[in-house]
Amino acid sequence: MKRKINDRLLERKEKDNGSCALLLDGARRVGKSYILIDFANLPGEVREVFENDLNDFDLFFNKLSAYYRKILYKRESLIIFDEVQRYPKARELIKYLVADGRYDYLETGSLISLRMNVEDIVIPSEKEHVEKL
């Protein structure tokens, strides 16, 4: 899916080399993401991974890889958290995933909903915010 922002995303990937996550917000259904993990429709098996396997990132990534039937390549794969405002714990987790350094991350969601759902979590500082496509 080639979008206007594609060149900017590739430039950021090279520049940051995994040192931060990117938060992409915009109106719903405008094509913000290629869905990998959709928190608006989170399957129970994936929710269990997010709730039970956060102390072991090897296990965490292996289970995500198996569920989505995608091989994750270190420093090459992008993990997209779509509609992340629906699962605030994932926003908090991003800080630790970025520090882990294996993959790149992209968060998408509605900014209004993001603001309403972050009161009780630590918002990661390791992100760049891009508005509007």
Q: What is the pLDDT of residue 33?
A: 38
99 burial level (CB within 10 Å; 0-12, 13-18, 19+): exposed
Q: What is the pLDDT of residue 35?
A: 72
CA distances from 63 to 71, 85, 97 (A): 11, 22, 15
Q: What is the pLDDT of residue 91?
A: 86
Is this prediction's pTM over 0.75? Answer: no
The first and second tokens of residue 47, run together, are 């929710």
Q: What is the pLDDT of residue 117?
A: 54
Which H helix or E strand runs over 78? strand 78-82
Q: What is the pLDDT of residue 56?
A: 96
Check if the beta carbon of residue 92 is closer than 8 Å to that of residue 54: no
∠ CA 114-62-92 to the nearest 5 degrees? 20
Query: Mean pLDDT of successive 10-residue segments in the chain (133 residues)?
Result: 67 82 67 70 95 95 93 86 88 91 86 54 54 51
Q: What is the pLDDT of residue 45?
A: 96
The first and second tokens of residue 115, run together, are 């603001």
Question: Would you list the domain boundaries of the chain?
Answer: 6-42+78-131
Q: Mapping DSSP to helix (H, G, I), strand (E, B) and coil, where does residue 58 land? A: helix
